[in-house]
Amino acid sequence: MSASSDIQAQALQAREAARAIAQLPTSAKDALLRAMAQALEDDAAAILAANARDIEAAAAKGVGSAMQDRLRLDDKRLRGVADALREVADLPDPVGQVTRAYDRPNGIHVERVRVPLGVIAMIYEARPNVTADAAALCLKAGNAVILRGGSEAIHSNTAIAASLKRALREAGLPEAVVTLVEDLRRETILELIQLNDIIDLVIPRGGEGLIRFVAEHARVPVIKHYKGVCHQYVDSPASLDLALDLLVDGKVSRPAACNSLETLLVHADVAAGFLPRAAQALRARGVELRGDARSRALVPDMAEASEDDYAAEYLDLILAVRVVDGLEQAIAHVQRYASDHTEVIVTEDAAHAARFVQALRSAVVMVNASSRFSDGGELGLGAEIGISTTRLHSYGPMGLEALTVERFVVHGEGQVRHPDLL
Amino acid sequence: MSASSDIQAQALQAREAARAIAQLPTSAKDALLRAMAQALEDDAAAILAANARDIEAAAAKGVGSAMQDRLRLDDKRLRGVADALREVADLPDPVGQVTRAYDRPNGIHVERVRVPLGVIAMIYEARPNVTADAAALCLKAGNAVILRGGSEAIHSNTAIAASLKRALREAGLPEAVVTLVEDLRRETILELIQLNDIIDLVIPRGGEGLIRFVAEHARVPVIKHYKGVCHQYVDSPASLDLALDLLVDGKVSRPAACNSLETLLVHADVAAGFLPRAAQALRARGVELRGDARSRALVPDMAEASEDDYAAEYLDLILAVRVVDGLEQAIAHVQRYASDHTEVIVTEDAAHAARFVQALRSAVVMVNASSRFSDGGELGLGAEIGISTTRLHSYGPMGLEALTVERFVVHGEGQVRHPDLL
């Protein structure tokens, strides 16, 4: 059998298995997730040994220490992965939820009911915990999952998937509910993302190159998360103390996260009172500032920001800065450079806040709160499988609900549309 | 300028225009829709003259009379098109609806709010009323629309679009809110559906060939409506009178509609009591029956059904018939042949109904009600832009809500994620 038909055969098995998981009651899914957590803990020795092989290979290839650290599992991290599965078990089950119910004038009773999507393919890089996390979220929402992780974590991913499959087997469920693609060639991804009669959704997570490759070649629907070029606009009037807190939290608390700030916009009326303080606080925490002429006039030794700086997702301790004439110029700047992820306004004027929210199309807009809350857990979704920056199906942080769709269930007593025909 | 950059330039103008329509209050959108209806009525002479040119061209090409009839507009039909716009004006506006609102433990207030998708491209064939209907639904949901109708209706579509654009102009809105693509080459469709940084959604409506072409080449997200192979299963116990009413309505009331029945499945225990009656009632209304051996033993002169018959969307007065051993065999048959559109069970047993609903993944499942209710208007959506048979974003009949997406709006009082950093 060719490699080509291998992946298709795997996908077809996943589709069969999707029927089994779709019909499982909540209690059985939750028991399965807890058994999977236990299996990961029971198999810790094998998983950590496999992980050591990945780390060794990474070191031999000269992979940097930050990347090696992202790849590394130890007892504590593995317990964290297992606990995350237990937390998913504790979340409410979206499947079967009736989101609306109503009677029509002819007496038919209409319900909108959440059902699983079917088969979800995850294509991701680096961190092996995604293998367990993504599988757990897909299963809890009643879906089968096809996982294609990166080559750098192949041994860890294979060991984790083996534990998950053992739990499936012991629960009497088809192993194909969780499929790990071990054939890592790019042609295999290509074939996978074109199986549009078998796979219902593909979610790529990783660098922009991976996401663009998937988006350009997929025939399966894709939910993309390109990047987060997040803005904070400090309006006038605004509490500058509050603005400073949000700025430090948004830039410094985890610069490599997509919901961290990349650009600060400041109303000209408060710039003199705010920018020197902000610069001092940020520089004290290692942040480099790059600004326009008006910012640089207020802050000594600030580098000049280029057009590229305003479009950049630094993911690092760098912040682009610009002084604007007011709300409308801030909105125009964000409209031009935003990646539709998360924007923040700091203001004491409710009408300004409303205008900012309405004028911008980003997935998440914060009024007087940190950009770092743009996260499934922080927004109360329980867990997060990704953050969508495309406005179809799901927009912004995606939780369990985003792995389902609403359908129609209708109950009648023999109603017909054209009684005259009978 | 090349034709290639023409379509891109049009799409970019549509994206600009989308901002204007997205921010329009409900009252202004409704006034615009009513002005568009009036413009169509005021321009009736020009639109009917343009339509006459399309009919003439169709006749010269030897197009059949049924197709010519679908294409034809007259005073009454045009009034119907205008009235449909007024009905859309009367529908509730989904934009700005807060679907959920809650506080998080840290005090931030989270709202899920419906926003427009942005720019929607409709690619469709035949009936010129779609030009006005689709534009109205997209606008009401705050979107710009790019319309690419078929060559057979080009003069009608151009005249209708001219009226809609006049209403936009008179309301002081950019004409590019409604864009009609007049360049009908297939390469232009191809370019249009690959503008994934500009267009947010493409909805193809028409034959399966058109939909497959769009689905296979699009980089823009696509909502597909392939076909409706709808089943009615008559269970035991079931009211056979009720089953017969639903069968006649489902098969005969509009055989060319996608929500019409194509296959009848009958429980063996009731087959002898039901099938001869059903055959008589259907044959009296001109329906041809094609069945399996057990059906044919009960109904004289029934043709034999092939495998292809069970997979067929006849869209005609033909019905495939099969006797099954019971509920599970009926479910297995539907799982094998269904197009995920609409299925009906007729039963007096609530547990059987629940099992049928749960086991099947189709977009709409009816218990003791006609398949013909699988329609946006009948299900209370107000109007319908299509019926999705793919389980992402929207599944089943799509109304105004399906042309929006939920985002997050958060209000805080300075909350940060890592207060320890401040």
Q: Å from A140 to nearest chain B CA? A: 17
- Return the axis-axis angle of helices B154-170 and B26-42, rounded to nearest 10°: 130
CB contacts of B390 in chain A (<8 Å) are 200, 221
Comparing CA positions, the residue from A142, A47, A127, A37 lying closest to residue A85 is A37
Regarding an ipTM greater than 0.85, the answer is: yes
Structure tokens at B121: 């491209």
Distance (Å, whole) CA B338 – CA B326: 18
Give the contacts of A308 (CB within 8 A, at least 6 positions apart). Answer: none
More reliable by pLDDT, A326 or A207: A326
Cα-Cα-Cα-Cα torsion A10, B221, B211, B81, nearest 10 degrees, comes to 150
Q: How confident is the model at residue A1 (pLDDT cuts 50, 70, 90)?
A: very low
Q: Å from B234 to nearest chain A CA? A: 12
Handedness of CA B123, B129, B132, B137 (dihedral sign): negative
CB contacts of B372 in chain A (<8 Å) are 416-418
Size of interface A-B (CB pairs under 8 A): 219
Query: Would the CB atoms of B408 and A22 count as touching at under 8 Å?
Result: no
Q: pLDDT at position B65, please?
A: 87
Q: Which residue has the tokens 């004439």?
A: A325
Q: Which of A234, A241, A388, A416 to mutate to test the interface with B (most CBs of B within 10 A)?
A: A416
Q: Which of B97, B214, B390, B416 to mutate to test the interface with A (most CBs of A within 10 A)?
A: B416
- Beta-bridged to residue A109, according to DSSP, are A103, A411
Which CATH architecture group holds A3-95+118-223+394-401? 3-Layer(aba) Sandwich (3.40)
Comparing CA positions, the residue from A266, A222, A224 lying closest to residue A121 is A222
Q: How confident is the model at residue A165 (pLDDT cuts 50, 70, 90)?
A: very high
Q: Which of A219, A405, A420 to mutate to test the interface with B (most CBs of B within 10 A)?
A: A405
Distance (Å, whole) CA A47 – CA A197: 34
Q: Is the pLDDT of residue A125 over 90?
A: no
The pLDDT profile of chain B, 422 residues, written as one tens digit per residue, is: 444 569 999 999 999 999 999 999 999 999 999 999 999 999 999 999 999 999 999 999 998 888 899 899 999 999 999 999 999 999 999 999 999 999 999 999 999 999 999 999 999 987 899 999 999 999 999 999 999 999 999 999 999 999 999 999 999 999 999 999 999 999 999 999 999 889 999 999 888 888 889 988 999 999 988 789 999 999 999 999 999 999 999 999 999 999 999 999 999 999 999 999 999 999 999 999 999 999 999 999 999 999 999 999 999 999 999 999 999 999 999 999 999 999 999 999 999 999 999 999 999 999 999 999 999 999 999 889 999 998 999 999 999 999 999 999 999 999 999 999 98
Q: Which residue of B has its CA nearest to A419?
A: B249
Q: Which of B371, B417, B418 to mutate to test the interface with A (most CBs of A within 10 A)?
A: B417
Structure tokens at B243: 């089953």
**Mean pLDDT computed over A135-160:** 97
Q: How confident is the model at residue A197 (pLDDT cuts 50, 70, 90)?
A: confident
Q: What letter would DSSP give residue B305?
A: P
CB atoms near residue A195 (< 10 Å): 22
CB contacts of B405 in chain A (<8 Å) are 391-395
CB atoms near residue A198 (< 10 Å): 21
- Return the axis-axis angle of helices B129-140 and B26-42, rounded to nearest 10°: 160
Q: Which range, of A107-111, A124-128, B58-62, B150-154, averages the lowest pLDDT?
A: A124-128
Q: Which of A95, A219, A391, A411 to mutate to test the interface with B (most CBs of B within 10 A)?
A: A391
Q: Å from A362 to nearest chain B CA? A: 8
Query: Would the CB atoms of A364 and B410 count as touching at under 8 Å?
Result: yes
CB contacts of A117 in chain B (<8 Å) are 391-392
Say whether domain B230-373 belongs to CATH 3.40.309.10.
Answer: yes
Q: Å from B200 to nearest chain A CA? A: 7
Q: What is the CATH class of B3-223+394-409?
A: alpha beta
Q: Which residue of B has its CA nearest to A372?
A: B417
Q: Determine the 3-state secondary structure of B347 from DSSP.
A: coil
Give the start-end residues of each E strand in B54-159: 98-103, 109-116, 119-124, 144-148
CB contacts of A353 in chain B (<8 Å) are 411
CB contacts of B25 in chain A (<8 Å) are none
Q: Determine the 3-state secondary structure of B166 from DSSP.
A: helix
Structure tokens at A142: 């009643």
Q: Is the pLDDT of residue A9 over 80?
A: yes
CB contacts of B215 in chain A (<8 Å) are 196, 219
Give one word for B243, left, alpha or beta, with left for phi > 0 and alpha for psi -120 to 50: alpha
**Where are chain B's structural domains?**
3-223+394-409, 230-373
Query: Would the CB atoms of A416 and B374 count as touching at under 8 Å?
Result: no
Distance (Å, whole) CA A372 – CA A352: 22
B179 membership: H or E segment, kind and range: strand B178-180
- The pTM for the full model equals 0.94
Q: Examine residue B237 and say whether the peptide bond preceding it is cis (omega within 30 degrees of 0).
A: yes
Distance (Å, whole) CA A190 – CA A202: 12
- Beta-bridged to residue B111, according to DSSP, are B101, B409
Q: Which of B109, B143, B249, B280 to mutate to test the interface with A (most CBs of A within 10 A)?
A: B249
Q: Å from B114 to nearest chain A CA? A: 10
Distance (Å, whole) CA A117 – CA A404: 5
Q: pLDDT at position A383, please?
A: 85
Query: Would the CB atoms of A391 and B115 count as touching at under 8 Å?
Result: yes
- Beta-bridged to residue A234, according to DSSP, are A266, A346
Query: Would the CB atoms of A407 and B358 count as touching at under 8 Å?
Result: no
Q: How confident is the model at residue A2 (pLDDT cuts 50, 70, 90)?
A: very low
Q: Å from A157 to nearest chain B CA? A: 28
CB contacts of B232 in chain A (<8 Å) are none
Q: Determine the 3-state secondary structure of B316 from DSSP.
A: coil
- Are the C-beta atoms of residues A403 and A141 closer than 8 Å to each other? yes
- The one-letter code for the residue type at B151 is S
Comparing CA positions, the residue from A151, A358, A360 lying closest to residue A265 is A360
Q: Å from B39 to nearest chain A CA? A: 30
Secondary structure of chain A in HEC code, one letter for each residue: CCHHHHHHHHHHHHHHHHHHHHCCCHHHHHHHHHHHHHHHHHCHHHHHHHHHHHHHHHHHCCCCHHHHHHHCCCHHHHHHHHHHHHHHHHCCCCCCCEEEEEECCCCCEEEEEEEECCEEEEEECCCCHHHHHHHHHHHHCCCEEEEECCHHHHHHHHHHHHHHHHHHHHCCCCHHHEEECCCCCHHHHHHHCCCCCCCCEEEEECCHHHHHHHHHHCCCCECCCCCCCEEEEECCCCCHHHHHHHHHHHHHCCCCCCCCEEEEEEEHHHHHHHHHHHHHHHHHCCCEEEECHHHHHHCCCCEECCHHHHHCCCCCCEEEEEEECCHHHHHHHHHHHCCCCEEEEECCCHHHHHHHHHHCCCCEEEEEECHHHCCCCCCCCCCCCEEEEEEECEEEEECHHHHEEEEEEEEEEEECCCHHHC
- Are the C-beta atoms of residues A404 and A141 closer than 8 Å to each other? yes
B290 membership: H or E segment, kind and range: strand B288-291
Q: Å from A10 to nearest chain B CA? A: 19
Query: Would the CB atoms of B408 and A115 count as touching at under 8 Å?
Result: no
Query: Would the CB atoms of B200 and A408 count as touching at under 8 Å?
Result: no
Comparing CA positions, the residue from B31, B55, B292 lying closest to residue B156 is B55
Q: pLDDT at position A226, please?
A: 79
Phi, psi for B381 (deg, rounded to 5): -85, -5
Angle at B51 between CA B46 and CA B56, to 5 degrees: 130
CB contacts of B115 in chain A (<8 Å) are 361, 391, 395
Q: Å from A220 to nearest chain B CA? A: 9
Measured between CB atoms, which of B241, B408, B411 is closest to A363?
B408
- The one-letter code for the residue type at B339 is S
pLDDT tens-digit series, residues B380-394: 998 899 999 989 999
Distance (Å, whole) CA B170 – CA A18: 53
CB contacts of B359 in chain A (<8 Å) are 23
Query: Would the CB atoms of B249 and A417 count as touching at under 8 Å?
Result: yes
Q: Considering chain A, what percentage of its residues have pLDDT values greater than 90?
A: 91
- The one-letter code for the residue type at B31 is A
Measured between CB atoms, which of B104, B249, B397 is closest to A380?
B104
Q: pLDDT at position A207, please?
A: 83
Comparing CA positions, the residue from B153, B131, B120, B149 lying closest to residue B40 is B131
